[in-house]
Chain A
Amino acid sequence: MAATTADGSKVVGGGEKSNVDEESKMITLFSSDGERFEVTQEAAAMSQTIHHMMEDGCVDDEGVHLPNVGSSILAMVIEYCNRHVASPDEKEDIRSFDAGFVNVEHHTLFDIIRAANYLDVKELMDLCCQTVADSIKSKSVEEIRELFGIVNDFTPEEEAEIRKENQWAFE
């Protein structure tokens, strides 16, 4: 639910700009590609990084620059935080939201993990890491290499040795 305000910035998640009501006070986040996102303090606080900055009184009117998070991923992370802050008690709804949220291509999931790691959003990390773990547990060694973009640095003899030691795991 993004609306565009007069100055062209996106307002994500609604909420009025009010300096009186602390809870709906907005905070501005800047993605690596310079896009502006307005988020409620509550949602932003799901990021421990941002939370600590807010607690220390370090976030001023300018906002927070996130040079490591691109706009499309930041939008997704904000969507997650908004959803979890909005109705934390509706377990069924949250569960189905989460399931839909992680139903993305693996490279997007990895991007979200990187962002969640950087922003220190524990719940999102747990969700994504568990999703990845569940999807890779049955994968072969070759599939893992492909998925993570890893070059095999074993010699054929070395790899055969390790395979032999752990033969039971390949059955």
Chain B
Amino acid sequence: MPPGGGAGGGEHGCTVPGHPPATGRLGRAEDAPPHPPPPPPPPFPATDVSLEMKKKQKQEDEQEQQPLGSLPEGPLVDILSRVPYKSLCRFKCVSKPWLALCSDPKLRKRCPQTLSGFFFNKSKCGLSFRNLSGKGAPMVDPSLPFLGGKYERVEVEQSCGGLLLCKYWESYKGRNKKKYGYAVCNPATGQWKVLTLIVLPDPVDGVPVIYDDIDDFFLAFDAANPSRFVVFAPLSNSFGEFAQVAIFSSDTRRWTSVENEWGYKNVLIGKPECALLNGTMHFGTHYGTIVTVDMEGKVWREFDMPDDTPDKHNYTSIGQSQGCLYAWQIDNDNDCKLCVWVLQDYATGKWTLKHTANVSEIFGRQLDEDDHSYTLFAIHPDCNMVFITDSENMTLSYDMDNQKVSAISTSRTEFVDGALYVPCFAEWLAEGH
């Protein structure tokens, strides 16, 4: 910044704007003459100065034209920050300067993300990843190389907003197989946070109690507010009843506990039957209700699942798509009928039946010969597409708008626990921040 003061000088200068600088912000021409004090000011500006700058401009233009193309870097970065991440990765092949631009982590953080595939667990090797297209090398390395091989096995339990809730084993053989821990992971940024043991003061006498047999953790992470994540752990007894819910927050790095305000009898179905919507975590219960709590553990609500479910003996699953809560069920025992409901009016809690279909038909099978047990394990966060597996050898995507079917996997895979993945390149604030 040129120093202020001087007649007519100062930060902006009284000059004709110069060449557009690389960052896209307008600079001021530093070689143009400063505005002299009145009276009388010279003609503004001198013609030969204008020509000088025109020449300089042309030179700069040509220089800029070569590496990045017909637009200067500033506007190009602006444009690229608005294209989806998938397109950005494709454009890396355009040229070497574009490779540098498209690989810039700052750009990656800004560009819109969408569903890129699924993490799931293979019995042989643990954590695996399948692209949404069902083809090609996985776009994210499920071996989580940033862990440096520290853990012998990692599995995914649940995903939320680009983070994974993982189960890990340091040693996966013999008696050590029983010893595992839980961690939250961002595969895109390499962040990995082990969830510490839950140690909380007993609500009655304040003596610290270790809760080491909790197996139901629920991860809540909002990519729109990526500075922290939260993990809920209902402190259940063997019947699944709980009076307290432990909450881990990545910014305090501690567990605290809050009282369960839903009522003692609400037994949760368990992971991954949960969905984050508008900063509120929704959980399915075994009693045909959905209970909700916000990420601070302060606001507790409850409302009913759809009541016109064909199979009254099985629970309804929930998920989030396009800003709304969805519920679905497949009646495997009878006619493999799929029903999908959407909660269009959140305030009234009224469900709308959005779509029905016959899953046997979707899989190209005859209903009366079909004894598969189908699971709809995910709904696309941005469109009316769902993902169904027969838990044996076929996983498909099904578009509810046009009934179009695509194969995701036709090999023996375990997609029942498939966790959908939308990359998030923002980092949650860790130690030291």
Contacts and interface: CB of A to CB of B under 8 A. Distances in A.
B417 to A, nearest CB: 21
A67 B79 contact: no
Nearest to B47: A65
Interface in B341-370: none
B54 A150 contact: no
A153 interface: yes
Contact of B95 (A48, A52, A150): A150
B48 to A, nearest CB: 12
Contacts of B136: 167-168, 170-171
A68 B57 contact: yes
Nearest to A30: B50
Contact of B35 (A58, A64, A152, A163): A58
B68 interface: yes
Given A53-B14, A62-B44, A67-B54, A168 B137 contact: yes
Interface string A128-144: 01101110111111001
Contacts of A130: 82
A133 B83 contact: yes
Interface centre among B15, B72, B89, B90 (most CB of A within 10 A): B90
B138 interface: yes
A62 B89 CA distance: 49
Contacts of A163: 93
Interface string A82-97: 0000000000000000
A152 B12 CA distance: 39
Interface in B207-247: none
B95 A58 contact: no
Contacts of A132: 79
Given A52-B12, A141-B94, A32 B54 contact: yes
Interface stretch (A4-12, A38-46, A113-121): A113-121
B71 A110 contact: yes
Interface residues of A, number: 55
A42 to B, nearest CB: 20
A1 interface: no
B71 A171 contact: no
B87 A136 contact: yes
A154 B19 CA distance: 30
Contacts of B89: 166, 168-169
A73 interface: no
A102 interface: no
B139 A117 contact: no
Contact of B86 (A58, A145, A147, A169): A169
B203 interface: no
Contacts of B79: 129, 132-133, 136
Contact of B75 (A55, A117, A149, A166): A117
Nearest to A150: B69
A83 B10 CA distance: 33
A166 B87 CA distance: 10
B116 A152 contact: no
A83 B275 CA distance: 45
A137 B95 contact: no
Nearest to A58: B14
B93 A159 contact: yes
A50 to B, nearest CB: 8
Nearest to B86: A169
A125 B74 CA distance: 11
Given A58-B12, A65-B45, A169-B86, A148 B93 contact: no
Interface in B234-262: none
Contacts of B70: 107, 110, 148-149
Interface in B46-101: 50, 53-54, 57, 65, 68-72, 74-75, 78-80, 82-84, 86-87, 89-96, 98-99
Nearest to A63: B44
A49 B89 CA distance: 34
B314 interface: no
Given A167-B136, A169-B86, A49 B17 contact: yes
Contacts of A140: 90
B263 interface: no
Question: What 3 A-B pairs have minimum CB-CB distances, sorted nearest first?
Answer: A148-B69, A133-B82, A168-B139
12 contacts: A56-B12, A58-B12, A58-B35, A62-B44, A117-B26, A138-B87, A149-B69, A154-B95, A159-B93, A166-B139, A168-B86, A168-B89
Interface of B: 8, 10, 12-17, 19-20, 24-26, 35, 41, 43-45, 50, 53-54, 57, 65, 68-72, 74-75, 78-80, 82-84, 86-87, 89-96, 98-99, 116-117, 131, 133, 135-139
Given A67-B16, A114-B72, 10 more contacts: A49-B17, A60-B44, A65-B45, A133-B79, A133-B83, A144-B94, A150-B94, A154-B93, A167-B136, A170-B90
